[in-house]
Amino acid sequence: MPNTPRNPRRRPLRSVLVTLLAALVPLLAATLLTAPTASARPERAAAAPTATLTEVTDFGPNPSNLQMYLYVPDSVTVKPAVVVAVHYCTGSGPAMYSNTEWASLADRYGFVVVYPSVTRASKCFDVSSPQALKRGGGSDPVGIKSMVDWVSRTYSADPARIFATGISSGAMMTNVLLGDYPDVFSAGAAFSGVPFGCFATTDGSEWNSACSGGTVTHTPQEWGDLVRAAYPGYTGPRPRMQVWHGTEDDVLRYPNFGEEIKQWTNVLGVSQTPAAGDTPVAGWNRTRYGATGDRAPVEAISLQGIGHNLYVTGMAARALTFFGLDSSGPAPQPQPGSCKVTASTNAWNTGLTASVTLTNTSTTAINGWTLGFTLPTGQTITNGWGATYTPSSGAVTATNVSYNGTLAPNASVTLGYQANHTGNSAAPGAFTLNGTACTG
């Protein structure tokens, strides 16, 4: 038989438990720290240092390897606005930071500035490939959208106050961003650019000589259709657009300025006839479309005798006014709900009649109105009453007639039209009054 100890020494039970717990606690802590459960939520990204240009990495999907630079002022507001400032060819995010006043304006008004930066050899943004001209298509716009998303998550940015601006290649990208992501951007300001889709190529080339030479022209409807095709089925509000161009531009010729106006007035459903015009600076001719104030749906500034490199200090401040950010804290914006629209249709086999009632729900009278809406696919207006309609299909603008152009606060006007259809007899689902979205 094996020898067994006689009268072994026993430790008190409490002492044993304490020893066991002392050993188990570090193990449990290590397990919790190194093996999160499947339901654990990702942490919000750390905020960037303030008052300095900072590069942010790992900001999200970035198929074309863009770099993201960020400027956050010391005075950043709660739920800040965001401005995406896009550089010119041969430029960079840091160059855009150094050579424009967006950072100093951010210091003054408390918004955040994003500076995307190209890494490809040309230092030009992709505004020509099929991938770039489609929402989520897999090129530069996707990376820029990821930058906006990162800022929105990190700083709880105001989704109603996200803007894009750019110079030359950056101006072309501004047009592209507003077309690809109309649900993200509230407005844009393009300095020496071309319309969305004008630079399109299918051979892999970044350059389109016909567009740069000013020989690509389309009807407003055709230009508008190019924008709408970037996000098929989208019926929500569209961003406002400010465009700048020099009459002597020898890189992106001046006719592109007029084509941009045609495109964005059509997209926003406003008349191509200016609602207002003035000369804010000698040699500058400014026209506004759809409204007369600083935040009209479309604003266009033509600079007499100026070439491609038109950007000078002070212009960003004017873009800021167009954005509505030139006051501390959240700036007033064109507010949805200043108008209300109800619409119904009465259909038969291949035709229908529509009745549309527009109500001015603002506190001021409207003197002259244009009602924008998009007809469902397959519908074509054959005649109408209470307004003039142009064009007859697609994005339609209904303009008041002589006897109903003034709408007092809370006053309504009823208009209507007859249309052919190929199966879809529904009423339009979204309307804009002088460029501002109406409630349904």
The residues annotated with a catalytic role in the active site are 168
pLDDT digits (tens, 9 = 90+) for 373-426: 899 999 999 999 999 998 999 888 898 888 888 888 889 999 999 999 999 999
d(CA 299, CA 320): 13
SS3 call for 188: strand
Q: What is the greatest pairwise CA distance in the chain?
A: 120
Q: Count of residues for the chain?
A: 440
Residue pair 151/157 in contact (Cβ under 8 Å)? The answer is yes
pLDDT digits (tens, 9 = 90+) for 38-55: 333 334 578 899 999 999
Q: What is the pLDDT of residue 40?
A: 38
Q: What is the pLDDT of residue 258?
A: 98
Residue ranges of the chain with pLDDT lower than 70? 1-44, 327-337
pTM, two decimal places: 0.68
pLDDT digits (tens, 9 = 90+) for 65-102: 999 999 999 999 999 999 999 999 999 999 999 999 99
Which residues are paired to 355 by β-bridges? Answer: 344, 416
Q: What is the pLDDT of residue 198?
A: 98
